[in-house]
Amino acid sequence: MERVAALDIGKAEVVCCVRVPSPSGSGRRVQEVRTFTTMTRSLQAMGDWLGGLGVTRVVMEATSDYWKPPFYLLEAAGFDVWLVNAREVKHLPGRPKTDKLDAVWLCKIAERGMVRASFVPPAPIRQLRDVTRYRVDLVGERGREKNRVEKLLEDAQIKLSVVASDIFGVSGRAMMDALISGQRDPKALAQLARTRMRTKLRDLEEAFVGRFDEHHAFLLARMLAHIDAINADITAVEDRIEELVAPFAQAVARLDDIPGISVTTARAIIAEVGLDMTRFPTAAHLASWAKFAPGVKESAGKTKGNASTGHGNRYLARALGEAAVGAARTNTFLGERYRRIARRRGKKKAIVAVGRSILVIVWQLLATEQATFTDLGPDYYDNRGGTQRAVRNHIRGLQALGYQVTLQAAA
């Protein structure tokens, strides 16, 4: 790179190193390092300085969330901004380490083309990503609060969760509200059951024989109020997601055709990988970026240990894991793929394998607008090699169970 800059970013300061050709025309390089604060005006002054030097590319490490302000500001100013993985640009071991030396080192390797940019989605996808991730966090917090409610009832010797599969349904919520209001009669509490719960009235009466007092009522009221507030927040966030995902409705509908993927999961996947698949040349590149591909550990022609997939985007991994579990319950190609792998390698590896298959399908659907999903069917593995392969597989299975197999063609 002829004119390049690199930033070492902290919470309060940014160290910027610039390397450009020498004005004397001698073919040598000129290097300059300056320090700026992370306040907006200071970052704008840095952008003006870089623009005056003719810098075309700015490289920075992904340091917590501190990289976002300079990245977005320089991106808006028209620079080619690269975010790089800090693990890939570490300084040589044994060398001194300062913010200035880190900026110089990053600038030199960027100048020689020894770094690669991480995936940063465009602004509309970033906004969708923010709200979908926040929804996941809210759902997780709601689940934790519900667990606290169940622990509180156990502390009060109220065994409602033993009788009811969901204590936060209509019946369970009415009973807990009555407990907060001061009702302690087990028979009266059991009579609040609705529909199918009324078949368990005797068990409910036994479940409400406990030691629920005012202390438990105070805590339960606060916990239920917190759950209601979280539910309201989730509803508001989902409404916002509906607005942001409207331009991508067609892509969401196409991903929704994949077994195991719901509309919510499709939105989460688009928020994490975006719609522009040119960033990932092949489906294998996308699977590798998402860490749904095994690592490689090989030396002298020998594979060393089990190379794990590594840690990737946890929000994408969560969405693909949920989709894989859903697909495993279906009578489809993905469901049969899960069952075949689970028998040989276990359920966890089967979920990862099916998640990768789903990610490959997602790449194909997003890379080609005209592409549509067509299920291969649960009998794909039996039919792809013809009748003889299926016969051999069945014979092998029976022989493994201790049987002698003699084949006789049907009339």
Q: Which two tokens stand for residue 277?
A: 């698949």
Domain co-membership, 215 together with 128: yes
Domain co-membership, 181 together with 67: no
Assigned domain for 409 exists = no
In sequence order, the β-bridge partners of residue 20 are 30
Assigned domain for 401 exists = no
Strands 298-299 and 57-61: unpaired
Query: Nearest-CA neighbor of 136 among 266, 262, 318?
Result: 318
Domain co-membership, 75 together with 188: no
The residue-averaged pLDDT of 290-308 equals 73
User: By residue range, what is the domain housing residue 96?
Assistant: 4-111
Assigned domain for 270 exists = yes
pLDDT digits (tens, 9 = 90+) for 157-184: 999 999 988 999 999 999 999 999 999 9
Assigned domain for 132 exists = yes
Confidence of residue 410 (pLDDT cuts 50, 70, 90): confident
Mean pLDDT of all residues belonging to the chain: 89
The C-alpha atoms of residue 171 and residue 348 are separated, in whole angstroms, by 36
Instruction: Please count the structural domains in the chain.
Output: 3
**Strand, helix or coil at 81?**
strand
Domain co-membership, 222 together with 310: no
pLDDT digits (tens, 9 = 90+) for 66-100: 899 899 999 998 899 998 887 777 766 777 888 88
pLDDT digits (tens, 9 = 90+) for 307-325: 666 678 899 999 999 999 9
Assigned domain for 163 exists = yes
Higher pLDDT, 361 or 389: 361
CB atoms within 10 A of CB 60: 26
Query: Considering Cα of 72, then 311, then 102, then 119, what sign does the dihedral take?
Result: negative
Assigned domain for 380 exists = no
Confidence of residue 217 (pLDDT cuts 50, 70, 90): very high
Assigned domain for 328 exists = yes
Residue 230 pLDDT > 90: yes
Q: ∠ CA 396-402-404 to the nearest 5 degrees?
A: 70
The residue-averaged pLDDT of 270-280 equals 90
Q: Is 312 left (phi over 0), alpha (psi -120 to 50) or beta?
A: beta
Phi, psi values for residue 214, rounded to 5°: -65, -35
In sequence order, the β-bridge partners of residue 58 are 5, 81
pLDDT at 306: 62
Residue at a domain's end among 246, 273, 308: 246
Residue at a domain's end among 199, 218, 246: 246
pLDDT digits (tens, 9 = 90+) for 232-269: 999 999 999 999 999 999 999 999 999 999 999 999 99
Assigned domain for 399 exists = no
Domain co-membership, 256 together with 201: no
Helix (H) or strand (E) holding 78: none
pTM of the prediction? 0.83
Residue at a domain's end among 111, 141, 156: 111
